[in-house]
Homo-oligomer: A and B are copies of this chain.
Amino acid sequence: MTFEFDRDTRLTARGPGSGAGTGTYDADLAPGWVVGGGVNGGYLLAIIGRAVQNELAATGHRDPFSVSAHYLSASVPGPAYVETRVVRTGGRFSTVAATLYQDVDGVPVARIASHATYGDLDRAHDERSDLEAAALGLALPPPDLPPLEECVLSSDAPAEIKKIAPLLDRFGTRLDPATAMWAVGKPSRRGVIQGWFKLADDRPLDPIALLLVVDALPPVTFDLGMPGWAPTLELTAHVRARPAPGWAAVRHQTRTVAGGLFEEDCEVWDSTGRLVAQSRQLALQPRG
């Protein structure tokens, strides 16, 4: 069987350049990842992540460590392509510039401009550095989530919501009820949304899928009583470890809303409680 995520992030290398430092990869943005006014930013980031991975196939640097993306315009379902250019390679890391485009009336329109630094997460976790880190005891612990069965399945949203957010059906997200009261008109106003996460068809998480996970919960502004789409200006994701199989825990939080903008911090822990990804995005406050 092919999982939805793999099917919908499949790429075709264009021409002979791909893998040689500058490659172009064709994608087809699937309508199932639409939310509100555009295609989900995490899904797009994963497509970019896969293009970079393909371009770096010969280097052994297969894992994203840091991907920073500036969102330029809203993507729509249909053909898209990622142009990649290796800006540095060698040693422990490679860095690639990658831009996602869609042609509009025959004119290329840039959707996302990004840089990605890749390496090998297995090599990063050598015994010595992990022992040192364990001795420090410095590791961000996962949130204290209620058991799965007490959490709210976000794909149980009303049909009129799912019509504008078919994305919800891609995920098995179960939200902590204390951070989901906005769904019944009672936002906590703390600026936190958290819960358990898996893909709906149980596709295992891996470093590329984590690029999706960091943007897979509803905008944290929902919990501030601000419904509506919150367009991302910039999102940087750091993958900190290869995730173990099973449910992930995810927390979104904002601490400062000002000047029409807010930051949304996301952390992802795997089923063993290890922090596997962190991200921060700067987004526009919804014009409610």
The answer to whether A117 and B261 touch across the interface, beta carbons within 8 angstroms, is: no
Query: What is the CB-to-nearest-CB distance from A252 to chain B, in angstroms, rounded to a whole number?
Result: 14
- Interface residue? A171 (CB, 8 A): no
A193 to chain B, nearest CB (A): 14
From A125-133, A158-166, A176-184, the one touching the partner chain is A125-133
Tell me how many chains of this kind the complex includes.
2
Given contacts A124-B261, A241-B258, 18 further A-B contacts (CB under 8 A): A65-B282, A70-B95, A88-B110, A117-B233, A124-B259, A130-B258, A130-B259, A132-B257, A132-B285, A133-B258, A133-B259, A138-B257, A140-B256, A234-B236, A238-B263, A238-B280, A241-B259, A278-B280
Which chain A residues have a beta carbon within 8 Å of chain B's beta carbons? 65-66, 68, 70, 72-73, 87-88, 93, 95, 97, 99, 110, 113-115, 117, 121, 124-126, 129-130, 132-133, 136, 138-140, 189, 191, 224, 233-234, 236, 238, 240-241, 254-261, 263, 274-275, 278, 280, 282, 285
Least CB distance, A130 to chain B, in whole angstroms = 7
Do A258 and B121 touch (CB < 8 A)?
no
